[in-house]
Structure 1
Amino acid sequence: MQRRLITSVLLGHYLSAFTALGIPLYLPRILSDLAPGTPGWAIGVLFVLPTLCTALAAPIWGRWADRNGCRLSLLRAHAGLFVGFLLAGFSPNLTVFVLALIIQGTFGGAMAASNAYLSTQFKGGDLSRALNWTQYSARLAMISGPILLGLLTAQGLGLDLYRYLAWLPLLAFVLILPLPKDAPKHGLASKKAEALGELPQDMPRLLAVQFLFSFAMVVTFPYFMPFGEQLGIGNDALIGVLYSLPHLVYLLALPWVQKHQGNLLLHGLALLAISNALQFWSVHAEPLFILRLLSGAGMLLSFVGLHRCLSQRSQKGSAGRLFGWFDSSGKWAGTAAGVAAALISQSFGIASPFLVACLAAMAAMVLARPLLMTSREIPA
C-alpha cells in the first residue's frame, strides 16, 4: 500500500511539475502569437507571475490543509493547475491569459501539497526519503519538460500547448483520488489539539536557510547561456548540457546519497559555495564540466540535508503550514534571484551572479549550523 501511495503521489507531482516547469521557457514565442508587440519587460513579469502568486498563497493553503486535510489540498493543487492551463489554452486575449497565470500560481502549488500529504503518511527516515523523491520528480520535470515541449513548439504549437498540457494535472488529480485521507484538524478542535499543531521554534531559521540556498541555485540560471558564450562555448546544445548537469547529478546519485545516516547539509552548502566561486573566477571553458558536477553534488547534499531537517520537525496538525511556508520561501527566493541576476549582471558583468551565489551559500552555512545542533537524529 505504501509503495502504491508514494508512486501515485510522485507520478502526480511529476505530471504537474512537467506542466508548470516545461512551458515558461517558450513564453516569448507564445506571447508573440497571442499578443504581438508585447514589450520585453512584460514577458519577464509574466514569467514570474505564477511563482509570485504561489509564494503568496502557499502559507494560506498550508493553514487550510491543516484544517481540512492535506489530501484534499493536494487535489486542489492539481485541479487548480488544470483550470489555469485550460483557461490559458483558450485565452482570446492577453487579459484572460494573465488571469489564467494567476489562477495557475494561486491555486497550484503541487510541491508543497505533495510534501504535506506525504508527511501525514510517513515519518522519520521514510518521510525524509519521500521528500528527496518529490524533489527528484521536480528535477526530472525540469530536464525533460523543456526538451519534449521544445520538440512540440518546433512543430508549430503555441498557445494551444496549454490546453493539451492541462490534461496532465487532471490525470494527476485522478491518481490521488483513491489514496487514503488524512485526519484534518477542524476549526472546532480543542485548544489542546491546537497546541499540537504549533510550528517548530526554529522555523524562521529553517526558512532563511531554504531562502538562501534556493537563491544561490537560481541566481545563476538566467544568464548561464551568455556566461558560457563569454567563455568561448559556441554550441548552444553544449551550454544546455552544462546547464543541466547539476540536475542530472541529483537524478543519478540520490539513491546512494540518501542512505547516509548523518546530515550533510553543511557539506552541500560548502560545495555549492566553492563551485560557484570557481565558476566566477573561470576564464576558460574546460574546467566548467567538473565545476557543474561539483555544483550538482552541493545541490544534492543540501536538498537531502534540508529534507532531513524538515522531516525532523514535521508533526501532527502543522504539516500544511510547515511545507506551505517552506515552499513559499523557495518561491520568494526564486523571484528575488531573477531580479538580482538582472541587476547584478548589468552592473558587474555576466559572471557576477556566481559570486553572489557563493556568498548566499556561505550565509546559509552560518545559519544552518544551529539547526543541525538542535536536530534529533533519525534512521536513514
Structure 2
Amino acid sequence: MQIWKKNLLVCWFGMFVTGVGMSQIAPVMPLYIRHLGVSDRALISQISGVAFGITFIISAIFSPIWGSAADKFGRKPMLLRASLGMAIVIMLMGFAPNVYVLIALRLLQGTITGYSTSCTTLIATQTDKKNAGYALGTLSTAGVAGSLIGPTIGGLIEDSIGLKPVFFITGALLFVAFITTLLFVEESFVREEKKTVSTKEVWASVPEKSLTIVLSVTLFIITMALYTIEPIITIYVTHISNNASHIALISGLVFSASGFANIIAAPKLGKLSDKIGAHKIVLIALVAAGIAYIPQAFVKNPWQLMALRFLVGLTFGGLNPSISTLVKKITPTSITGRIFGFTVAAGYLGVFAGSVLGGQVAARFGISYVFFITSALLLLNAVWVYFKVYKKVNFS
C-alpha cells in the first residue's frame, strides 16, 4: 500500500475521533454541569455555552501556531502531541470536581488541539496532484462527521451507561488514535534550518493572497451554516413532532444526518473535483446548499427535516475537500502547514459563530428565520466565489 493511503486511513480515524471529542460533550454538558452542583437553569445554560464554545475559540487561536510547528518539526510529532494530550484532558473531565475545573479543561483541550491541521498538511504534501481531491475529500469527512455525529454518540452513551463514561470512552478512543499514529504513520521529514519566520513574513510569501482569503471565509461560512441549527434543534424537533417521546435521540439523529451524508458524498465529490476542477464543485455545492436550507423552515415532522439535513450534508461533502484542494494548489509546500492552520481556525470560528447566530436569530425573529438567513449567507457566498474564484482563476 502506498504511504499516503496508509497515512490517510490512520488520519481519518484520528480526525474522526478528535471531532467526536470536540463535540460529544454538547448534549451532556447541561446534565454534567447540574451533576457538578449548579442548580439554577439559567446559570446552567450560560455555563454550558461558555464551556462548549471556549474550546473552539481557543482552537482557532492555536491552530495556526500548531500548523507552523508542523512545518518546522514535522507533522507526525504534532499528531502524537495532539492525540495523547486530548486523550488525557478529556479523561480528566470525567473527574472534574466543579464547573471551574471543567471549563479550565475545555480551555486546555482547545490549546492542545491541532490533529486536524497536521493530518491535512501531511496528506496534502504526500499526495500527488492526480489523487489530491480524493484524498482530501476522504479526509475531510472525518472531522466534519465526527463533529456532527459526536453529539449523538455522547447522548447515546449518557443514556445507556451514564455521564462520566462519555469522557472515559472518548479519551480511550483518542489514546487508540495516538497508538495507531505512533505505529503506522510514516513521514520522511527533513527539518530545514531556517530563522524563525513571522506571520507577516509568511503572509508576504503567499502568492494568491486574495484567493486564500476568499477560501478561508468560505470555509468559515459553510461551517457556520452547519452549526446554526445546533442551539435550536431540540426546540424545533419538539415543535414539529407534537411533543413525541425520545426527543433527545431524534434531535441527535437530525443533527447528525448531515454528517452521515458527508461521509458518503465527500470522497466521490473529491474524485469528481480532480476531473472537472475543485472551483466548479465549490460553486455548485454552495448554490445547492443555499437552496436546500429554505424548505427546512416549512417541514411538518422530524423525518422531513432529517431528509433535508441529509441533503445538506451531501452538498457540503463537496465543499471542504474542494477548498482544501484549492489551498494545496495555491500554497508553497514550505508554508502549507501554516496556511492550513489558518483555514482550520476559520472552521473552528465557524462552529462557534454558527451556534451563536442560530440562537440569537431564533430568539429575536423565530426559528424559520435561522434557515432563511443561513440560506442567504450561502447564496451570497456563492456569488462572491463566482466572481473572485470561478471567473478569475484557471485551475486546470
Distance 1:169 1:273, change over 3 A: same
Instruction: Name whichever of 25-34 and 150-159 sits farther off.
Output: 150-159
Does 2:223 align with 1:214? yes
Match of 2:232 in 1: 223
> Which of these residues, 224, 228, 249, is aligned with residue 261 of structure 2?
249
Summarize deviations over 1:306-358 as a string: whole Å, max 9, x none.
23322322431112111110010111122112112121111100111111111
C-alpha contact (below 8 Å) 2:93/2:102 kept by paired residues: yes
Match of 1:266 in 2: 283
How much does 1:142 deviate? 4.0
SS in 2 for 1:154: helix
Distance 1:189 1:245, change over 3 A: closer
TM-score of the two chains, using structure 1 as the length reference: 0.88
**Equivalents in 1 of 2:120, 2:176: separation in Å?**
19
**Equivalents in 2 of 1:376, 1:168: separation in Å?**
42
Does 2:203 align with 1:203? no
SS in 2 for 1:180: coil
Distance 1:164 1:228, change over 3 A: closer
> Which of these residues, 182, 187, 191, is aligned with residue 194 of structure 2?
187
Alignment of 1:44-193 (within 5 A): 44-142=49-147, 144-159=149-164, 161-178=166-183, 179-188=186-195
Question: What fraction of aligned residue pairs are identical, expressed as a percent?
Answer: 20
Does 2:300 align with 1:284? yes
How much does 1:252 deviate? 2.5
> Which of these residues, 344, 348, 354, is aligned with residue 337 of structure 1?
354
**Equivalents in 1 of 2:237, 2:98: separation in Å?**
37
How much does 1:156 deviate? 4.5
Summarize deviations over 1:177-231 as a string: whole Å, max 9, x none.
242242344434899xx88993342211211111122222211232123223333
- Which segments of 5 or more consecutive residues in structure 2 lack a partner in the other structure? none
- Which segments of 5 or more consecutive residues in structure 1 lack a partner in the other structure? none
Distance 1:147 1:125, change over 3 A: same
SS in 2 for 1:102: helix
SS in 2 for 1:351: helix
The amino acid that maps onto 2:22 is A
C-alpha contact (below 8 Å) 1:128/1:310 kept by paired residues: no
How much does 1:86 deviate? 3.1
Distance 1:314 1:17, change over 3 A: same
Summarize deviations over 1:132-151 as a string: whole Å, max 9, x none.
12222234434654444434
How much does 1:372 deviate? 3.3
Match of 1:319 in 2: 336
Distance 1:196 1:95, change over 3 A: closer
**Equivalents in 2 of 1:292, 1:5: separation in Å?**
31
SS in 1 for 2:187: coil
How much does 1:66 deviate? 1.7
In the alignment of these two chains, the number of paired residues is 375
Distance 1:123 1:183, change over 3 A: farther
Match of 2:311 in 1: 294
How much does 1:131 deviate? 1.9
Does 2:33 align with 1:31? yes
Instruction: Name whichever of 313-322 and 351-360 sits farther off.
Output: 313-322
C-alpha contact (below 8 Å) 1:249/1:296 kept by paired residues: yes
TM-score of the two chains, using structure 2 as the length reference: 0.85
C-alpha contact (below 8 Å) 2:227/2:351 kept by paired residues: yes
Summarize deviations over 1:87-136 as a string: whole Å, max 9, x none.
32332333322221111111113222211122232242423222212222
Instruction: Name whichever of 156-165 and 335-344 sits farther off.
Output: 156-165
Distance 1:149 1:239, change over 3 A: closer
The amino acid that maps onto 2:17 is L
Distance 1:230 1:323, change over 3 A: same
Instruction: Name whichever of 122-131 and 360-369 sits farther off.
Output: 122-131
